[in-house]
């Protein structure tokens, strides 16, 4: 029998590997989705990546959480993961009350029948223009006082496009070589 599914629980840390104040005696962390925390409907477009980035920075109390969410947003855009609703974004809370962004999950090539993202990019759910994404980042950077946001966003866009193209070329050559 061949294995075809891999599952890793990101809300469990063995208690012996962590400080007792961080996790419950059972080793579980609390998981809360953006849907529940932000009261965002998962069935209708009700969330914007700008709001998610801001919420991540404030909740986790670090600008790196916002940058991570931005990177995921750009990936979703280029990978055609349009099933990016609010229940597919979560946060973990430890016993000390500290929050962190949960690992990226439910990430697949998943085009919407009407070619729309469930989470908008600066108000655009369908075919968001690249300039709108960059301008949204500029607006965030002024509030965040992170002067490198524009540079960072361009670097992420370039990196994700290069990786996507590299992976596509690799997979397509593997498929061509199958007899």
- Phi/psi of residue 53, each to 5°? -65, -45
The token pair that represents 17 in the structure block: 């590997």
- List, in order, residues 6 or more apart from 24 with CB less than 8 Å away: 95
Instruction: Give the three-state DSSP class for 138.
Output: helix
Banded model confidence at residue 117, pLDDT cuts 50, 70, 90: confident
SS3 assignment for 63-122: HHHHHHHHHHHHHHHHHCECCCCHHHCEEEECCCCCEEECCCCCCCCECCCCCCCCEEEC
Burial of 54 (0-12, 13-18, 19+ CB in 10 A): middle
pLDDT digits (tens, 9 = 90+) for 32-73: 999 999 988 877 788 888 888 889 989 999 878 888 888 888
Burial 12-32 (b: 16+ CB within 10 A, else e): ebeeeeeeeeebeeebbbeee
pLDDT digits (tens, 9 = 90+) for 9-36: 788 777 676 666 566 666 778 899 999 9
> What whole-number distance in Å separates Cα of residue 62 and Cα of residue 174?
41
Q: Are 144 and 63 in contact (CB under 8 A)?
A: yes
Which pLDDT score is estimated for 103? 92
């Amino acid at each position: 029998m061949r294995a075809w599914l891999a599952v890793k629980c990101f809300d469990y840390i063995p208690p012996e590997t962590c400080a007792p104040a961080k996790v419950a005696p059972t080793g579980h962390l609390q998981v809360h989705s953006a849907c529940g925390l932000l009261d965002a409907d998962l069935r209708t477009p009700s969330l914007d990546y700008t709001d998610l980035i801001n919420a991540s920075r404030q909740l986790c109390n670090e600008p790196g959480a916002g940058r991570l969410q931005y990177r995921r947003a750009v990936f979703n855009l280029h990978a055609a993961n349009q099933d990016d609703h609010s229940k597919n974004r979560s946060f973990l809370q430890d016993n000390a009350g500290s929050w962190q962004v949960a690992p990226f999950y439910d990430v697949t090539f998943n085009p919407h029948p009407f070619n729309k993202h469930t989470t908008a990019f600066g108000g655009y759910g369908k075919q968001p223009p690249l300039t709108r994404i960059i301008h949204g980042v500029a607006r965030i950077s002024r509030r965040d006082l992170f002067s490198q946001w524009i540079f960072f966003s361009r670097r992420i866009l370039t990196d994700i496009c290069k990786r996507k193209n590299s992976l596509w070329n690799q997979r397509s050559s593997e498929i061509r070589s199958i007899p």
